[in-house]
Amino acid sequence: MAVSGENQAVRQLCMLIASERDDRRRQHLLSRLYSALKAEQALIKNNVDEFLKRYPVRSG
């Protein structure tokens, strides 16, 4: 499952950031975390869009 893999990467990056003492390395890890979160956000949006195409929401 893609979301699970993404969550694992985010978790690992958070652990690395929390334990990192070097500011430059921490900044690099934060940048990677931001990218991973944006990728997960795009995946979730895509999944929601696909779900809504299959199961349209009727208003009213």
Note whether residue 23 is domain-resident. yes
> 15, exposed or middle or buried, with CB in 10 Å at 0-12, 13-18, 19+?
exposed
Is 43 part of any domain? Answer: yes
User: Considering the domain boundaries, does residue 35 fall inside one?
Assistant: yes
Return the pLDDT at 55: 94
Q: Is residue 17 part of a domain?
A: yes
How many whole angstroms separate alpha carbon 45 and alpha carbon 60? 24
**Residue 60: inside a domain:** no
**6 with 43: CB under 8 angstroms?**
yes
The parent domain of residue 41 ranges over 2-54
pTM of the model: 0.75
Q: Is residue 59 part of a domain?
A: no
Is residue 1 pLDDT above 60, yes or no? Answer: no
Q: What is the pLDDT of residues 2-58, one digit of tens each?
A: 456 668 889 999 999 999 999 999 999 999 999 999 999 999 999 999 999 999 988
For the chain, the domain total comes to: 1
Structure tokens at 25: 């390395």
**Residue partners of 37: CB distance under 8 A and separation at least 6:** 10
